[in-house]
Structure 1
Amino acid sequence: MGHSDAACLTCRQKSRRCDRARPMCKRCISKGLQCGGYPEKFRFCGIASRGKWKNHKAPISKDDASIAGADLSVEKSVVPAQELQSDAQIPLTGVLDSTTPWNPETPDSVILPSQRNTPSEESELKRTLSSKEAETLITHYDRFICPHQIAQPVDSGENPYRLYVIPLAYEQLNLLYAVLALSAFHLGHLKSDKHLYESVAVNYRAKAINALGITIHKVCSGDFTGDDRDSVFATIQILLLHDICETGISAHGAHISGAMSICSQLKLAQTLSVDQERTVFFLGNLVWLDIIRAFSSPERLCFTQELRLKLLSLCNLRFEAVNGCPRDIVLIIAAILECAKAYSSGKLEYTEFYNTIRESIRKLYLWDGSRCFFPDESTIWVSVSNAFRHACILRAWRLLDPSEPPSEPRIRDSVLEILDSVANIPSTSPLIELMVLPLFMAGADSLSAHSRHYVILRLEQIKGRSEMGNAAPLTLLEKVWHARAEQAQHDTSNIPWMSFASNSDSLHQDDYLII
């Protein structure tokens, strides 16, 4: 039977290449989707008889197959899996449907039972860590990825990703797999090694999602340690970072909802303390990622303002060093997005919505970055904070009127403030890597060719410096600019970038993480 007939139902519906793994497609797992399974008439005949895998063994070990339930998927080169005895479908492990609130009372609805004949977590940890591949990938994460996850003037042992993530990955299987997946993807692109980023990374990511589901079940059942709980939050962050590097669209954004549900179940808004520095660090970063996700669609905002206030009051200055945006501004934009979410759901009248947003915008205009505490003594932080402040101002104005012409003074002024602030940040400074969101927001409302060109140049500098690309900002900007070029000459209305964040193949917006 031809390949076009052998795809799983989900891949067929989305018109994309399927890896044909049984009992569920690994491509679906890696994208955080429910695999629709296969019609019974489809048969699978082992290793491909032509193409790059001709005369090669399947690129997966026996242990890998027992954990993942299928052969390793390769996105661009089809690797059919050997036929399994059972065609029964298994629900996707640990992936939370973003359209349905996660219910911690019924974790079995989203979590796979442990697979039959798999080794214990301890044995699997030892087996994985003893491999030369894992050693290479962990070393790469430590030396090349960790330094770019936080804006520090000097790379040192004080890097929280070295302090928290790596030791925890040696103890927690779900986090180990997530780190290996991200590192394989990054190293594969640096070396132009398709096997690493199309095969090894996808395999480890699928394993990470599977193991994450098991750990979530453990936490929700009450039989967990602090390492179990923190590994869930850390794994979600690493999976999201992987998505950011790959496409900028999160296949695992729904996990943020799961993190919030765990926080609610454990009553962390009441019980967290400053002594739980590692937990606060991971959750603080997820709070910002949740806000970034809500920039394109406020309805996706998940964390409560109560928990945000608690977490940001406990965070130290590492929060700004990782995320860039000062906590005062984070709380203001979060309140703005909360207001927009309530209005869109009909819980808030327009007058209250309008007045609340206007008052929040006034707070942003009055905020003084020169009086703020920053991670170090560099005066560049004032420019960083100003860029974020005006990025949030632009988003707030667009919530009130998405069609307002970008030529309006208040829009134009914020664009210029962002561009001037970024101009104060040398390309040699690690702080430039924090500027993706402000540059994107300025670019979306830039009308002049030179402003757009400057935005592109700085985004390319960031990509070159960090060697961790995010294609989403430029992709969206090009769509906005192209649509503006197609406007009638007398039409000065805005082209909202949010309108291009919708997925035409689904009923909801993609989770864009422009960071």
Structure 2
Amino acid sequence: MASVQSPASAASPARSQFIPPTTKRTNSLGWAKSDCHTCASNSRPCDRRRPRCDACTTAGMTCGGYTQVLKWDPHAFQRNFRQNTVLPESLSKTSKELPKPSTFTFVQDQRNGAKKGRRTRKVAERRRREDTTSQQADDVDEAKDKIMSPVSTPAISTSTQETASPPEPEEDDDVEEVGEPVSTVARLPLGSERRHSDGDAHIKSVIYHFDPTVFQLPRAIREQLSFFKWQFSPITLTYDVRINPWQQCLTQIHEAPFVLDAVVALAKRHRAHLQGEPESLQVLELKDRALCSFASHLKVNGIPCEMGITISLLLIGLDYAETALSDWSIHLRGAYRILESSGGIKLAEYNTQLRSQIAQLIWYDTTAALLSRKGPVFPRTYSEALMSWQVDTEWSLLSLNGYPDIAFLDMYDIAVAASCTSPLPDGHVTRLEMGLWLARFDSVHQNQDKNITALTDCWRLGMLLYCTRVFHQSEASQTKARMLAEEIMWLIHDLPANSATQKQCLLPLFLAGCEMDSFRFRSIAIDFCKRWKDKTGLWLFQSALDLMQLVWASMDENPVKDVWWGDIIKPSSGKAYLLG
């Protein structure tokens, strides 16, 4: 086998000169286009043979290999994008179909034929199963279209016929349209599974037990839900609590369309208030749609107790964020009837989430009854049961609304006594007032601090001021009311201006502010209401200020007359003020 010329026997050719082999090369490794690294560094000729040149092999040296020219694909980093790109149908069919080989059948080899027959039957069975699955999917889509059509759900918006396919998460440009349903599966009527036969079990499983990764809400709706969870739900709290009654509403959004509509409407309204912008017309449309859908389901099929309590709380929250003056008894009576029809308060004995929502409703019921003097909607047995089941590690009225739990039954009894049109028994009011004076508030919160102490004292004095004005009508009571009011104003003034404990003093501040005739104390009340209206986005603070200004105007017009808030708020009025 011939070899290339060695440096010792012949003149050295140029470095880049290629020395062809003298015999035919048959190896498949080929030849490099440049010298190896070792020959190039030693400035000697190289035969450029792969994988190791003969010059390095003859010299007993290790061949350093050859330079590899890499051709980078500039679009290689877009591999995922190119894989996910769907070509148009016209381009995908441009290439002609390759000719298929002929099919041969061997009849002599029975064993091989049997194997091939079994394989063919397996493939055929698999294809039949795929066809059956595809047909079932088409049947499910057809059934969903029938169920979600306006004919079967007259109480739901007529736009539900546009929900043939679930919305894509990326398509958030049109989700602000109120006419479109905010959830694909949530548009199904409650209890509609009762109208299906047993043969449609697969339809029910697909409709009601969907995969959240497939049936995903639009991005704009998810943003509203996130805002509701992290911005609105803690706005009414004194401090963080494990069981938040507002956040429990989010667990119902995939089960009822009206719950989702109410949550989105409340989030939109609260966000507009915080940003100082006029709220969109969509808020009223969503609220109206939630009310109509809720009433329709309640009348036709009925709804679960948890869902009824949730929507009642959300509807109160919608009005609560807008104004303190409303007919709160409508939603409260509806929640009470739903709870009674489901078994009463015993239903919440082992349901912590439901207990927290009922406690919030009873709190609104009691505080509204104080100013309206009409009496609470929920019976006292409900409050007694909740207080006996209540655990501070889960929730408490102190954490939810700033009121000490140990004195809540006293507040309830005072609201009931204020609604009595007949004279109260002798000593009844005195016993109520003594219960407030003797209540031990120092053990209601484990991490007791001076702000919580001031908050509980503010509520104690506020309820005593309420009893003085409602149950006593004398000159001595006027002097006592003035002293209690001044003490309340100083307690509120000494609390940190940005603390949640001061925020929870709205009702005591209102009761005390209505007694003030000096500019100094009135300015404290005005600053309190305006500041917390802007910070919380709840306009009930403005409603309290407007009501106090009406009382102040009457006091300024008649300096001699004893004017109090009861002269403005009449028990006979249909609406009530909710300042709790």
TM range (shorter): 0.5 to 0.7
1:383–1:425 CA contact under 8 A, matched in 2: yes
TM superposition score normalised by structure 2: 0.59
Which residue, out of 262, 284, 304, partners 2:338?
262
Distance 1:450 1:199, change over 3 A: same
Alignment match of 1:140 (pick from 207, 221, 227): 227
Q: What's the offset of the Cα at 1:126?
A: 11
Alignment partner, residue 243 of structure 1 = 319
Would the aligned equivalents of 2:465 and 2:511 in 1 still touch at CA under 8 Å?
yes
**In the alignment, what sits opposite 1:31?**
none
RMSD: 3.3
Shift of 1:499: 3.4
* 2:404 equivalent among 326, 330, 333: 326
What corresponds to 2:511 in structure 1?
Answer: 441
1:299 and 2:374 are equivalent in the alignment: yes
TM-score using structure 1 length:
0.66
Provide runs of 4+ in structure 1 moved above 6 Å.
120-123, 125-129
Q: Distance in 2 between matches of 1:185 and 1:272?
A: 30
> Which residue in 2 is equivalent to 1:187?
271
1:464 to 513, 517, 534: 534
> What code does the residue aligned with 1:340 have?
A
Asked if 1:281 is matched to 2:353, the reply is no
Return closer, same or farther for 1:251/1:134 CA change in 2, 3 Å cut-off. Answer: farther
Partner of 2:569: 501
| Closer/same/farther in 2, CA of residues 166 and 367 from structure 1, 3 Å limit | same
Structure 1 CA distance, aligned partners of 2:226 and 2:431? 49
Q: Which structure 2 residues correspond to residues 465-480 of structure 1 after superposition, within 5 A?
A: 465-470=535-540, 471-480=542-551
Inter-CA distance 351–236: structure 2 relative to 1 (3 Å threshold): closer
Change (3 A) 1:159 1:339: closer
The structure with higher relative contact order (CA 8 Å, sep 6+) is 1
What amino acid is the match of 1:418?
A: I
- 1:12-411 equivalences in 2 (<5 Å): 60-61=178-179, 130-152=217-239, 158=242, 160-161=244-245, 163-194=247-278, 197-217=279-299, 228-273=304-349, 275-317=350-392, 318=395, 319-341=397-419, 343-344=420-421, 346=422, 350-352=423-425, 355-370=427-442, 372-374=443-445, 376-401=447-472, 404=474, 408-411=478-481
| Letter of the 2:360 counterpart | N
CA distance in 1 between partners of 2:180 and 2:247 (Å)? 33
SS in 2 for 1:369: coil
The Cα offsets for residues 397-443 of structure 1, whole Å up to 9 and x where unpaired, read as 22213x55698332122212322322342123222221111111110
Structure 2 Cα separation of the partners of residues 296 and 396 of structure 1: 12
Instruction: Tell me which residue corresponds to 2:107.
Output: none
Deviation per CA, 1:151-208: give whole Å up to 9, x if none: 226xx8x4625752222234332221111111111122334543xx241111111122
Provide closer, same or farther for how the CA distance between residues 172 and 473 of structure 1 changes in structure 2, counting only shifts above 3 A. Answer: same
Aligned equivalents of 1:473, 1:185: Cα separation in 2? 19
CA 1:404–1:462: 2 relative to 1, 3 Å? farther
Alignment gaps of 5+ in structure 2: 1-153, 158-175, 183-206
Alpha-carbon distance in structure 2 between the residues aligned to 1:426 and 1:152: 14
In the aligned structure 2, how far is the partner of 1:328 from the partner of 1:211?
Answer: 39
Which structure: larger Rg? 2
Contact residue 121 and residue 173 of structure 1 kept, 8 A: no
Gap change, CA 1:128 and 1:511, over 3 Å in 2 = farther
The alpha-carbon distance between structure 1 residues 293 and 129, as it changes in their structure 2 partners (threshold 3 A), is: farther
* Pair 300,201 (structure 1): closer, same or farther in 2 beyond 3 Å: farther
Shift of 1:238: 2.1
Query: Partner of 2:37 in structure 1?
Result: none
Structure 1: gaps of 5 or more residues: 1-22, 27-57, 65-119
